[in-house]
Structure 1
Amino acid sequence: MDLQFNRHRRLRQTENMRSLVRETDLHVNDFIYPIFVAEGKDIKKEIKSMPGVFNLSLDHLAEEMDEVVSLGIKSVLLFGIPLEKDDCGTQAYHDHGIVQEATRFIKEKYPEIIVVADTCLCEYTDHGHCGLIENGEVLNDASLELLVQTAVSQAKAGADIIAPSNMMDGFTVAIRAGLDEAGFSHVPVMSYAVKYASAFYGPFRDAADSTPQFGDRKAYQMDPANRLEALREAESDLMEGADFLIVKPGLPYLDIVRDVKNNINLPLVIYNVSGEYSMVKAAAQNGWIDEERIVLEMLTGMKRAGCDLIITYHAKDAARWLQEQK
């Protein structure tokens, strides 16, 4: 019998052979680890819907950072949980706000760590929206002024990267101009350029106590059904001065990641969000999946789709597993 076919299995026979021809590598340098920093003292509260993730006060932050450093993770993303909220999110741009204080602490004790500061108002407003409210509507242009103040205060505190996540039109150009004017032209902007109005954010809103008190965020975050709109958003942020682009969420939007990667030449970040994390954790706790294999396969898939960096709550576990594989 003279059959003609390709023997693709020749390159899959052993682990060394598979490693030799592997197209996508996952590395600890790819990870940005989100941390929820809470105002107050002696707070180490596990987030019920996010097993293994905690709200931490500054007096517990060193313990967390020691672990981050020991695992070789080089970047963290800070979210703040203030004691007091108001209708304009004052604590977001206060020079001694919780993110600003956490940034100073990390840069003093762990100067080599890259601190990315989330720049939004939703964790700080009593209504839970990402901007100022008037007659039930989120104001775009008036909110930009407060977002610029927030970005500048974070840069003053020592943040290495400003990451605005609010989805107001023009937020990138406004923040870029504000940073430049304040003497921070060297500080890059990691823009949440493509952020969908997703159901996958639920556990994060538990963690940050940022659930909108009325309505939703569909008027400013993107419709999950739209693909071409993502390119328009990404192109706008490119023109407005972004240094990185973020696509959020991750798993349901890998096609968007590839579209953006194919069309825009900036470092691309994917946010493996809280709902994606929590589903894996719940399934693993029930013994339904092999957590290590699932997580590493998901993160590899995100890299393969085109991202350069991954914001993920799995970062510590993934870093540990990758160390063990060496």
Structure 2
Amino acid sequence: MRRYFRPIVQNDPARPSDALPIAGGWAWFTRAEELSRDGPPRIIPAHSIPFEERAALTAPRPAVAGLTMDRPRIMGILNVTPDSFSDGGRFDRPEAALAQGRALAVASDILDIGGESTRPGAAEVPLTDEIARTAPVIEALRAAGLTCPISIDTRKAPVAEAALAAGAGLVNDVSGFDFDPALAGLVARAGVPVCVMHAQGTPETMQADPRYDNVLLDIYDALAERIARAQAAGIPRSHIVVDPGIGFGKTVGHNLALLRGLSLFHGLGCPILLGASRKSFIGMVSGEEDAARRAPGSIAVALAAMAQGVQILRVHDAAETRQALRVDLALKGVDSHG
């Protein structure tokens, strides 16, 4: 019977001497929930977790694109598409994209630039269009003096290759190498970090009827398989970030279960990225139909994720999220600067 261990995370400044760190970061735990597919969960002391699994949960994470993972990092979203669910068309002109990118960079640690909408029901964008939307914007941002890491949000090796040549330094693949197997080899050769996300199906079909036996454990196992695939392609584990894929082939119930159980994914031994900003489940839970007005709900999710030790938060409202994180961390006695 395989066992999984989900740390019961705490952030209180009064930290017991026997507490274990979450991924070498700001949060800690003294107990864990032991999970399996064949029996009920049970609460166990943190030091009862087997050594290898305990080491994966507690070891400090390597830096990603030069950014240490000992404090939460904000990834600002720049969609240079005409049809993204939240801000489609606002930044698809080069001058608008450049202005928004420079503004986002003030409050972001990383910029994530995408030229293909992956909202539910979205169709695939031709390679030439996606490259034309993204690479010139990255090149223009670098020419304007932007120095922060830039991520290319793409499923396709040629798009990633053009973006890396233009100045990107990280690849964010929502398909976890399922869409274009050549992307893993490109990432390995380039020596850049990559985020592998879980998605059930493609954007065209993923929300038709998503099902899981156990959403938390199924996605954990799927991400473990993606990590193994990346390593087999020559990508070191130190270059891999994982994302459970909120909203990608998940119901509202699935999304909430994942968010409640996020700390489980520290057991994969990689930094965790969470992209929940303005997504439809926030609208369904809050009653806000307008995606552009979901910043409060998005920040609530970001704070909950940070409290579970999630290292990278992918958001639209970077300045508002950073303000909330800094206040929340100050209340916990954690230095958010540096």
Report TM bin, short chain: 0.5 to 0.7
Q: Is the 8 A contact 1:38 1:58 kept in 2?
A: no
Cα deviation, residue 159, structure 1:
1.2
Alpha carbons of 1:221 and 1:179: their partners in 2 closer, same or farther (altered >3 Å)?
A: farther
Separation in structure 2 between the aligned mates of residue 282 and residue 221 of structure 1, nearest angstrom: 22
Matches within 5 A, 1:143-154: 147-154=156-163
- Count the aligned residue pairs: 245
**1:303 aligned residue:** 306
Alignment match of 2:273 (pick from 266, 269, 273): 269
Alignment match of 1:226 (pick from 215, 220, 226): 215
1:159-200 residue CA offsets vs partner (Å, 9 max, x unmatched): 1101111255485x742322444xx22x111111x2356xxx
**1:157 aligned residue:** 166
Matches within 5 A, 1:191-206: 191-192=196-197, 194-196=198-200
TM-score using structure 1 length: 0.59
1:125-171 residue CA offsets vs partner (Å, 9 max, x unmatched): xxxxxxxxxxxxxxxxxxxxxx2223222222221101111255485
Alignment match of 2:262 (pick from 257, 278, 282): 257
Alpha carbons of 1:218 and 1:315: their partners in 2 closer, same or farther (altered >3 Å)?
A: same
SS in structure 2 of the partner of residue 227 of structure 1: helix
Alpha carbons of 1:260 and 1:321: their partners in 2 closer, same or farther (altered >3 Å)?
A: closer
The unaligned stretches of length 5 or more in structure 2 are 1-10, 16-25, 29-69, 248-254, 331-338
Instruction: Tell me if 1:189 matches 2:202.
Output: no
Separation in structure 2 between the aligned mates of residue 236 and residue 283 of structure 1, nearest angstrom: 36
Separation in structure 2 between the aligned mates of residue 314 and residue 53 of structure 1, nearest angstrom: 17
Separation in structure 1 between the aligned mates of residue 176 and residue 210 of structure 2, nearest angstrom: 6
**2:77 aligned residue:** 34
Q: Is the 8 A contact 2:91 2:100 kept in 1?
A: no
Matches within 5 A, 1:54-73: 54-70=90-106, 72-73=107-108
Alpha carbons of 1:256 and 1:19: their partners in 2 closer, same or farther (altered >3 Å)?
A: closer
Separation in structure 2 between the aligned mates of residue 313 and residue 267 of structure 1, nearest angstrom: 20
| Structure with max Cα Rg | 1
Cα deviation, residue 314, structure 1:
3.1
Alpha carbons of 1:271 and 1:98: their partners in 2 closer, same or farther (altered >3 Å)?
A: same
Runs of 4+ aligned structure 1 residues displaced above 6 Å come to: 85-88, 218-222, 323-326
TM-score using structure 2 length: 0.58
Alpha carbons of 1:168 and 1:180: their partners in 2 closer, same or farther (altered >3 Å)?
A: closer
Identity %: 10
Alpha carbons of 1:311 and 1:59: their partners in 2 closer, same or farther (altered >3 Å)?
A: same
Give the residue type in structure 2 aligned to 1:103. Answer: I
Cα deviation, residue 255, structure 1:
4.5
Matches within 5 A, 1:1-20: 20=13
Alpha carbons of 1:175 and 1:195: their partners in 2 closer, same or farther (altered >3 Å)?
A: same
1:79-115 residue CA offsets vs partner (Å, 9 max, x unmatched): 2159xx9977222664xx2111111122222432211
Q: Is the 8 A contact 2:75 2:315 kept in 1?
A: yes
Separation in structure 2 between the aligned mates of residue 270 and residue 110 of structure 1, nearest angstrom: 28
SS in structure 2 of the partner of residue 54 of structure 1: coil
SS in structure 1 of the partner of residue 128 of structure 2: helix
Matches within 5 A, 1:113-132: 113-120=148-155
Give the residue type in structure 2 aligned to 1:176. Answer: A
Give the residue type in structure 2 aligned to 1:177. Answer: G
Alpha carbons of 1:318 and 1:177: their partners in 2 closer, same or farther (altered >3 Å)?
A: same
Cα deviation, residue 238, structure 1:
1.9
SS in structure 1 of the partner of residue 183 of structure 2: helix
**1:89 aligned residue:** 126
Cα deviation, residue 282, structure 1:
5.9
Separation in structure 2 between the aligned mates of residue 279 and residue 316 of structure 1, nearest angstrom: 24
The unaligned stretches of length 5 or more in structure 1 are 1-17, 40-44, 121-146, 198-209
**2:31 aligned residue:** none
Give the helix-richer structure, 1 or 2.
1
Q: Is the 8 A contact 1:37 1:80 kept in 2?
A: yes
Alpha carbons of 1:233 and 1:110: their partners in 2 closer, same or farther (altered >3 Å)?
A: farther
Cα deviation, residue 20, structure 1:
4.5
